[in-house]
Structure 1
């Protein structure tokens, strides 16, 4: 590994550790009542991830590996991972959870249109990845 690459990785690791440490300090500063109230939520996240999300991703990956041509698999993985993550983060605003009739300034943007815009960009990038993969495959074959 080159010295420059090692330096960049060291700097990135140090920055990541500092950000993580900041998060831990902020989390511990919430107080015992808030920390204890957070535990069921954290446990629920683990259960939902390990019990629902991860198995679905594995099943989708196996199905994709059996049905998609090899050159299109990286594009499909990219699209599913990015759109899946963006959609999970956007569920609260897309569902308008927390909107209140007496406060129209809450959730006052066209969030669905924004999500569609992101989806279009991700799909365009996925098509570009697939086209590149197909060209590489054709050049080899």
Structure 2
């Protein structure tokens, strides 16, 4: 009889706890975008300049330097500078690519930049020390660049 009473008490205690007003915990704070600060070396680029071909060093080479302020909510801003070259494999002509300005990244993966060459927007991803920036606007700047953090 004591065992049945003890079992009944345990069931009542569990049901009593489960039927009480449960307060949902606060949702976790929104996580901001990753800190992209650093110096990156070009791994590859695909875009208008390369006529859709994916190329890397030595045909395309460059350095991308990002300095980012702490995120505010789901966005972070910073400064950027780009110094690169593209060598036309058919003619040997070298095109210097230089730009500096500001950028904004968001936790949803969106990327915006404003530089001396004009504004651009698209998306970005980070996997370990590899940053990939996919510019989708404007049409003349559409490209995918892959960078390795040094």
TM band (smaller chain): under 0.3
Taking structure 1 as the reference length, the TM-score comes to 0.20
More strand, by proportion: 2
Structure whose residues are more often helix by fraction:
1
Instruction: Return the structure number with greater relative CO, CA threshold 8 A, min gap 6.
Output: 1
